[in-house]
Amino acid sequence: MANMTLSTRDSGHGASASPWKAVLWVIWLILMVTGLIGVFQRFGSGHLAAGYGSYVPWGLWIGLYFLGVGISGGSFIIGAVGYIFGVPGFSRPSELRIAIVLSLAALIPAFIGVALDLGRTERLIKVLTSPTFTSMMAFNAWMYNIFIVVAAVSWLLTFKVNSSWLKPLLIFGAFLSILFPSQSGVFFEAVRTNEFWHSPILSVLFLASAIALGAAGLILVRALLWHESASRSAYDNAVRWLRTVAIVAILVYLAFEFAEFSIVLWNPGQHSPSVDFLLFGDYRQVFWILHLLVGALIPLALFATNHRGLWVIGALLTGLGFAAARMCILVPGQIAGHIPGLQQAFQDARLTYSYHPTSMEYLIGFFMVAVGMAIFYLGIRLGRTFASSPEHGYGDSIEQNTGLQTGTAA
């Protein structure tokens, strides 16, 4: 990476902008414009332009929902743990705010995917106004909303000098952050009639992937906001720790994933159409190439280097890989027919045990990403405004930091 320097003239409201600022604006604009096209298609033609149907009702948007939940939970856990235990690069309120804003920016767009996936979007509010807490969906919906309140209050408390409530609230928020990625696994495990999903390992997989996604997301945003660290050493310590967390989490995920599939493959008396579909059927490229190679092995190799630029690439690939991993859990569990002869009994394009995302689904995925980017940008800008105002902050406003340089080697 080219050297980047933050000098004293960059301090204040006109803080040194990342050299990627113009590129990010162009990317955001493209994602938002194309995403809005998808939104118009969704409301104009309903679900007709989507690739899912009656037999495979959950598609790309639900996969992105679980991805957003993972990034949200993982980034909050890492940020809270780093701040509570004084991990270098995470011990300042301004550094904690980055993790909190990322957590909210990942979670809120995830709800868009769920809302647009529903047949009657206007009934989404019913899960809050008329909940049945024995339902995993209702339980998760309330937990997410409680977490949003906790995260928002925690963000506000970072501007208060020596707040006695901040760390207890972070502990509670971290507890919720551990719960809702794990609950994503429980959501699938509760379907007892689906042998592919009915596995106790799923909760561990979702939690491990959440930690990996949170670390990867923070590596990415800390690289983009490198000038917001207190010093060169603070930035170095932060990304080194995040790299280590990402490596461990990816390895844990791969270990449990191997344990899950090895039981099925090595048991001569057990046969799983869903596993065959995933490993050797139509989804083999998604599993072996996107998830395993591009999303796990290559990031591990990049994280093993001492080049921070490669760590950023590894973080991006980790996000892509775990998006594929979400689909590797979601889709195979739906393609195995549970009623023999059902597909042959009714002939219709939407009554098949197959799924391929359509252009509309991808466009709305772009829209979700664009909304997340906008929330993160606004959260960071709002934090700068609060921190620089006379009545708020510790005087640690990240715009006031000077003298940071990043080079090519760690």
Residue 98 corresponds to which tokens in the numbers above?
């980055």
Residue 174 corresponds to which tokens in the numbers above?
């971290």
Task: Tell me: pLDDT of 401 over 60.
Answer: no
- Mean pLDDT lowest for which of 150-164, 216-230, 339-353, 380-394? 339-353
Cα–Cα distances in angstroms (integers) from residue 362 to residues 34, 35, 68, 99, 179, in the given order: 9, 8, 15, 27, 29
Round to whole Å and give the CA distance between 52 and 58.
6
Q: Which residue has the higher pLDDT, 251 or 23?
A: 251
Domains of the chain in sequence order:
16-389 (1.20.1630.10)
Phi (first) and psi of residue 22, to 5 degrees: -65, -40
Task: Tell me: pLDDT of 400 over 80.
Answer: no
pLDDT at 402: 34
Cα–Cα distances in angstroms (integers) from residue 138 to residues 88, 190, 194, 287, in the given order: 38, 14, 21, 31
For residue 15, give the nearest of 221, 312, 226 by alpha carbon.
226
Round to whole Å and give the CA distance between 107 and 141.
12
Rounded mean pLDDT of 323-338? 86
Rounded mean pLDDT of 119-132? 80
pTM for the full model?
Answer: 0.87
Residue type, 346: F
pLDDT at 337: 61
pLDDT digits (tens, 9 = 90+) for 382-393: 998 887 766 554
Largest interatomic CA distance in the chain: 73
Task: Tell me: pLDDT of 84 over 80.
Answer: yes
Task: Tell me: pLDDT of 94 over 50.
Answer: yes
Burial class (CB in 10 A: 0-12, 13-18, 19+), 343: middle
CB-based contact 261:274 (threshold 8 Å): no
Instruction: Sort residue 387 into left (φ over 0), alpha (ψ -120 to 50) or beta.
Output: alpha
pLDDT at 122: 77
For residue 349, give the nearest of 114, 118, 50 by alpha carbon.
50
What are the residue ranges of helices labelled H in 267-358?
273-279, 284-285, 298-303, 308-330, 332-335, 342-345
Q: Which residue has the higher pLDDT, 289 or 226?
A: 289
pLDDT digits (tens, 9 = 90+) for 48-66: 888 888 778 889 999 999 9
Collapsed DSSP state (helix, strand, coil) of residue 356: coil
Confidence of residue 195 (pLDDT cuts 50, 70, 90): confident
Block residue for tokens 């940020």:
79
